[in-house]
Structure 1
Amino acid sequence: MGQKILVVDDEKPIVDILKYNLAKEGYEVIAAYDGEEAIEVAFSQNPNLILLDVMLPKQDGFQVCKKLREKLACPIIMLTAKGEEVDKVLGLELGADDYVTKPFGMRELMARIKANLRRLTLSNPVEEQKLLKVKDLEIDLASFQVRKKGNTLELTFREFELLKFLAAQPGQVFSREKLLEEVWGYEYYGDIRTVDVTIRRLREKIEDDPSNPSYIKTKRGVGYYFNRN
């Protein structure tokens, strides 16, 4: 079977449609229909990617996402019927990698899924044995781990990818649009808040003082860069 995708939605017709289209693309599909079941299935099945609806019975998608991030680093794409910015930002703050607003086009959703899975595959090279060291920070490209002063930090897949990309090119300033293209693997349509939220989460984990960062710097009006000094 192909890579495993967990679909979480309380509307069975939507789950069935997603199952059918994902299976056609060669993915192994498992499903959950409420928040509690989603957590149980995710931890037991360890999927490669999770499609997570926001409006769920028992526990909503935000609660589920927060709990999943305690143990899983796989990409999480949130499905939301709400187009409000606050909902999108909240999902990203809790560790989601991406979001798609309902009603969504199947072609767009498949492109997002493939981009996230492609990045996941590329981030786990078998032969790669590289270690980036910057001050107290160690970025292990082979084991998908980040350590600070010897302590392992819990980063999501997207946070790790963003840190790796910036650290590999220190001093080079990247716009939000360029980071979306390079790290997320596809073009967003005008919404660059995703980068800001992920940068903020990343700073909270790697910086001694997130409000005065020493690793990931902001070039006002331009974008972000990694500081090796």
Structure 2
Amino acid sequence: MTRVLVVEDDPQLVRALVITMQARHYGVDAAPDGATALRLAAVRRPDVVVLDLGLPDMDGVEVIKALRGWTRVPVLVLSARQASDEKVDALDAGADDYITKPFNMNELLARLRAAVRRAETAPSAPEVPLVTTDGFTVDLVAKKVRRADHDIRLTPTEWHLLEILVTHPGCLVTQKQLLHEVWGVTLGNKTNYLRVYMAQLRRKLEADPSRPRYLITEPGMGYRFEA
């Protein structure tokens, strides 16, 4: 069964896409934001991704770039953005096709089938969602971290934070995004949670936790992972 990952924050459109695709015997997973999409892509290994660019937590182009760090899964952009430079940015980032809203469902399905066919006939390459730095390695599927040839034990909360950061390489992830994703809260006065857990992660992963190389603080804004 061909598996599709739909990345879209409009519940009505998601419902229409899921019903239509399932009726045609596709397996469908849905993600309302970029962070969820990247985690589902690593765990569920879809055969094709249908991606909106206007996501609540990050731009869809950043999702494409993050995916292209480890997988060649076909990405079909489905977006209301019609400007030429928007299309160029998405295609340059690694998208395989670009469909503008409003769209014809039959055309979308035809392009989806074409993308899957191209992927099936292309030379296969190993896809290992492995984030590697000079200091440690993060296996997003096995949910393991290794440093100096030793497994590093992380708590579920530490793992969740690290997973979000490493799937957004080079991008600022705001305090609000992290709090909402990890703890389900958006209150600014909970930032002490982040400081405590980020300090723990640095002690476990950084050579010099007081001068982090990989887990960078953007004062007053959030955090960033640099590979």
Alignment TM-score, normalising by the size of structure 2 = 0.54
How far residue 40 of structure 1 moved from its aligned partner, in angstroms, is 0.9
> Take 2:58 and 2:42, find their aligned partners in 1: how far apart are those partners?
16
The one-letter amino acid paired with 2:60 is G
Instruction: Give the equivalent residue in structure 1 for 2:105.
Output: 106
Question: Aligned pair 1:3/2:2, yes or no?
Answer: yes
State the Cα deviation string for residues 105-131 of structure 1 (Å, max 9, x = none).
0011001001111122233xxxxxxxx
> Take 1:51 and 1:32, find their aligned partners in 2: how far apart are those partners?
10
Aligned pairs for 1:119-158 (under 5 A) are 119-123=118-122, 141=123, 143-144=124-125
> Take 1:86 and 1:49, find their aligned partners in 2: how far apart are those partners?
24
The one-letter amino acid paired with 2:64 is C
Instruction: Provide the identity percentage.
Output: 39
> Take 2:121 and 2:72, find their aligned partners in 1: how far apart are those partners?
15
> Structure 1 stretches (4+) deviating beyond 2 angstroms?
none
How far residue 86 of structure 1 moved from its aligned partner, in angstroms, is 0.6
> Take 1:26 and 1:17, find their aligned partners in 2: how far apart are those partners?
14
Alignment TM-score, normalising by the size of structure 1 = 0.53
Instruction: Give the equivalent residue in structure 2 for 1:63.
Output: 62
> Take 1:45 and 1:8, find their aligned partners in 2: how far apart are those partners?
13
Instruction: Give the equivalent residue in structure 1 for 2:34.
Output: 35
> Take 1:89 and 1:60, find their aligned partners in 2: how far apart are those partners?
14
- Structure 2 SS opposite 1:14: helix
RMSD between superposed Cα atoms in Å = 1.2
- Structure 1 SS opposite 2:17: helix
Choose 1 or 2 for highest CA Rg. 2
- Structure 2 SS opposite 1:100: strand
Aligned pairs for 1:56-205 (under 5 A) are 56-123=55-122, 141=123, 143-144=124-125
State the Cα deviation string for residues 127-160 of structure 1 (Å, max 9, x = none).
xxxxxxxxxxxxxx4x448xxxxxxxxxxxxxxx
> Take 1:144 and 1:42, find their aligned partners in 2: how far apart are those partners?
16
- Structure 1 SS opposite 2:85: helix
Aligned pairs for 1:46-57 (under 5 A) are 46-57=45-56
Instruction: Give the equivalent residue in structure 1 for 2:17.
Output: 18
The one-letter amino acid paired with 1:75 is P
How far residue 9 of structure 1 moved from its aligned partner, in angstroms, is 0.3
- Structure 2 SS opposite 1:71: coil
The one-letter amino acid paired with 1:72 is T
- Structure 1 SS opposite 2:89: helix
The one-letter amino acid paired with 1:61 is G
Unaligned runs of 5+ in 2: 127-227
> Take 1:39 and 1:57, find their aligned partners in 2: how far apart are those partners?
14
Instruction: Give the equivalent residue in structure 2 for 1:226.
Output: none
Unaligned runs of 5+ in 1: 124-140, 146-229
> Take 1:116 and 1:8, find their aligned partners in 2: how far apart are those partners?
17
